[in-house]
């Protein structure tokens, strides 16, 4: 595939808002996880909650979209000069020629949960509840397009944890078809009751900060985040490039990955082939690394199947941000860009004791080194898999 030029990117997670806050936290190996405090829920787990989301006020023209998910989206859009970069792209290409393709898993589901908690005596939902602009999955794309004054194609991908990695493939196909010249991609997901209680029912929540690749790992820590990238056919000041996108669906199980990582293997190989690279060209892998026993063992096998017994240095950053679900692919693509731009391979957090059955070259401490190409993995429920190859080297 032709490289996608990245002209701007930003991310907001429990580590902070914007690139600088994220980079500072990664360099300090500081985690954003903390014991659950969201809405006083009686669950024993840790989460990556973004500070101040409930205090965000949307502009009056966007008030119909008001929900926690879109508030976090608005907060994220204000960072790193992202809206200014989109303004320049809109002037260059025209508003109808810029697409908006974003990932989320639950959209504004919290808004519906709150509406049901506040039903009228006759059972009717509150008069001010607006499903179309909040919980409806397209809400995120509609909100972002309106906020950025873009009128090109827009849609939301909701394939669980691979959602905001797969949108890069959607943008690629739209560009190849000639329907657009640029796209805003990424994802937003926020904490809600269904997500927390649902993962708890699946016995996938860790009662402590998650421990990717650790011998004592016992589940994941849910996070929330917003991440956006502007990609264009070309740009004068590229922040990096997307060289390859690999997408598969092995359909193994609704909530358990294939034990041998069959779909993950195929996604990584497809991404490398699309990038025109060999396994040995990858300098660092940002793992999906959720810290559940089955995910990490499956991904470890998959990585070794693609890269051999001597894998590139790799780590999961979910010990820092939590698992941000539908936003994870976009967040970790942005972290991969930070790694490329600053020569930083971030060490994973909280592992303590390595799992002797996992053999990938996992980093517990940061490593500084020039990087050319990074692979970022995002694997979701239902066997949906996506891998991205990002580069800091001019193609």
pLDDT in the model for residue 257 = 67
User: Hey, which residues does 241 pair with through a beta bridge?
Assistant: 5, 391
Could you tell me what percent of the chain has a pLDDT over 70? Answer: 98
Q: Is 161 one of the catalytic residues?
A: yes
State the pLDDT at residue 395: 82
CA distance 324 to 48: 8
Q: How many CB atoms lie within 10 A of CB 96?
A: 14
Rounded Cα–Cα distance for residues 137 and 135 (Å): 6
**Spatial CB neighbours of 242, under 8 Å, sequence gap ≥ 6:** 3, 4, 6, 168, 172, 231, 333, 388, 389, 390, 391
What is the average pLDDT value for the chain, to the nearest integer?
95
Give φ, ψ of 278 to 5 degrees: -100, 165
Structural domain boundaries enclosing 159: 4-121+129-391
Q: Which of 161, 192, 210, 314 is catalytic?
A: 161
Q: What is the pLDDT of residue 85?
A: 98
Query: According to the model, what pLDDT value does residue 380 have?
Result: 82
Dist CA 95 CA 180 (whole Å): 10
Q: At 111, is the pLDDT very low, low, confident or very high (cuts 50, 70, 90)?
A: very high
Q: Coil, strand or helix: which one is 134?
A: coil
In the prediction, which pLDDT does 259 show? 73
pLDDT in tens, 250-285: 876 665 666 777 999 999 999 999 999 999 999 999
The domain that contains 54 carries what CATH number?
Answer: 3.40.47.10
Please tell me the predicted confidence (pLDDT) of residue 139: 97
Q: What is the pLDDT of residue 2?
A: 85
66: which strand partners?
none
Cα–Cα distance, 372 to 363 (Å, whole number)? 18
Q: Which two tokens stand for residue 108?
A: 């504004």
| pLDDT value for 194 | 95
Q: What is the pLDDT of residues 95-104, one digit of tens each?
A: 999 999 999 9
Biggest CA pair distance of the chain: 64
Round to the nearest angstrom and report the end-to-end CA distance of the chain.
11
From start to end of 34-96, where are the E strands? 34-35, 46-48
List the catalytic residue out of 67, 258, 288, 373.
288
- Residues ≥6 apart with Cβ < 8 Å to 131: 112
In the numeric block, which tokens belong to residue 363?
């980093």
pLDDT tens digits along 133-186: 999 999 999 999 999 999 999 999 999 999 999 999 999 999 999 999 999 999
288 is catalytic: yes
Which of 13, 12, 9, 182 lies closest to 98, judged by CA?
Answer: 182
CA distance 217 to 72: 29
Count of the separate structural domains present in the chain? 1
Backbone angles phi, psi at 338, to 5 degrees: -60, -40
| C-alpha to C-alpha distance for 65 and 74, rounded to whole angstroms | 11
Which pLDDT tens digit goes with each residue over 7-48?
A: 999 999 999 999 999 999 999 999 999 999 999 999 999 999
**314 catalytic, yes or no?**
no
Q: What is the DSSP secondary structure assignment for residue 21, as one 8-state letter?
A: H
Taking the C-alpha atoms of residue 368 and residue 80, their distance in angstroms, rounded to an integer, is 24
* Closest to 347 in 3D by CA, of 358, 339, 355: 339
Window from 66-70, 118-122, 152-156, 177-181 with minimum mean pLDDT: 118-122
Residue 115 pLDDT greater than 90, yes or no: yes
Q: Is a pLDDT exceeding 80 seen at residue 57?
A: yes
Q: What is the mean pLDDT of residues 180-197?
A: 97
Rounded to whole angstroms, how far apart are CA atoms 258 and 14?
30
pLDDT of the residue at 258: 67
Looking at residue 253, its pLDDT comes to: 63
Which residue in 371, 366, 370, 369 sits closest to 28, CA to CA?
366
375 confidence band (pLDDT: 50, 70, 90): very high
Which position among 67, 192, 323, 350 bears the catalytic label? 323
Summarised one tens digit per residue, pLDDT across range 304-353 is 999 999 999 999 999 999 999 999 999 999 999 999 999 999 999 999 99
Q: How many CA atoms are closer than 13 Å to the CA of 374, on its beta-carbon side?
A: 31
pLDDT at 381: 75
CB 223 within 8 A of CB 210: no
């Amino acid at each position: 595939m032709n490289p996608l030029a990245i002209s701007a990117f930003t991310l907001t997670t429990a580590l902070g808002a914007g690139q600088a806050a994220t980079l500072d936290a990664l360099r300090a190996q500081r985690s954003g996880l903390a014991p659950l405090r969201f809405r006083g829920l009686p669950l024993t787990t840790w989460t990556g909650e973004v500070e101040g989301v409930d205090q965000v006020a949307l502009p009056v023209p966007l008030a119909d979209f008001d929900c926690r998910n879109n508030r976090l989206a608005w907060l994220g859009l204000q960072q790193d000069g992202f809206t200014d970069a989109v303004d320049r792209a809109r002037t260059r290409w025209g508003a109808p020629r810029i697409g908006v393709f974003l990932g989320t898993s639950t959209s504004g589901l919290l808004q519906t949960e709150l509406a049901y908690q506040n039903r009228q005596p006759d059972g009717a939902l509150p008069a001010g509840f607006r499903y179309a602009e909040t919980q409806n999955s397209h809400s995120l794309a509609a909100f972002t397009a309106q906020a950025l004054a873009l009128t090109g194609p827009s849609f939301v991908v909701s394939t669980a944890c691979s959602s905001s990695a797969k949108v890069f493939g959607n943008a690629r196909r739209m560009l190849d078809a000639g329907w657009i010249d640029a796209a805003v991609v990424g994802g937003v997901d926020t904490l809600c009751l269904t997500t927390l209680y649902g993962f708890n029912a699946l016995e996938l929540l860790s009662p402590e900060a998650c421990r990717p690749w650790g011998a004592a790992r016992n589940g994941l820590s849910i996070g929330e985040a917003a991440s956006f990238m502007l990609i264009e056919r070309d740009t004068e000041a590229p922040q990096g490039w997307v060289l390859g996108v690999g997408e598969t669906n092995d359909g193994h199980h609704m909530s358990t990955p294939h034990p041998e990582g069959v779909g993950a293997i195929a996604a990584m190989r497809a991404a490398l082939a699309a990038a025109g690279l060999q396994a040995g060209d990858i300098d660092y892998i940002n793992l999906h690394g959720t810290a559940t026993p089955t995910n990490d063992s499956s991904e470890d096998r998959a990585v070794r199947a693609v890269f051999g017994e001597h894998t590139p240095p790799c780590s999961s950053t979910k010990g820092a941000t939590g698992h941000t679900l539908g936003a994870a692919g976009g967040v970790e693509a942005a972290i991969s860009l930070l790694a490329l731009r600053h020569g930083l391979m971030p060490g994973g957090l909280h592992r303590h004791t390595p799992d002797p059955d996992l053999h990938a070259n996992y980093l517990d401490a940061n490593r500084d080194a020039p990087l050319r190409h990074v692979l970022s993995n995002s694997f979701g429920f239902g066997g949906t898999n996506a891998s991205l190859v990002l580069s800091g080297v001019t193609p």
